[in-house]
Amino acid sequence: MGRGKIEIKRIENANSRQVTFSKRRAGLLKKAKELAILCDAEVAVIIFSNTGKLFEFSSSGMKRTLSRYNKCQNSSDAAIVEYKAEKQDSKEVDVLKDEIANLQMIQLRLLGKELMGLSLKELQHLEQQLNEGLLSVKEKKEQLLLEQLEQSRIQEQRAMLENETLRRQVEELRGFLPSTERSVPSYLEYYPVERKNSLIKNVVVSPEVVCNCAMEKGDSDTTLYLGLPSDVYIKRKAPERETCSNNSGSPMGLV
Fold of 14-74: SRF-like (3.40.1810)
Alpha-carbon span 205 to 211, nearest angstrom = 10
Which residue ranges does the chain devote to CATH 3.40.1810.10? 14-74
Q: What is the pLDDT of residues 165-215, one digit of tens each?
A: 999 999 888 888 765 544 545 544 545 555 445 544 444 444 444 444 444
How much is the pLDDT for 69? 85
How much is the pLDDT for 119? 84
pLDDT reading at 139 higher than 80: yes
Alpha-carbon span 172 to 170, nearest angstrom = 5
Q: What is the pLDDT of residues 70-100, one digit of tens each?
A: 887 776 666 666 767 777 888 888 889 989 9
Please state, rounded to an integer, the average pLDDT across all residues of the chain: 75
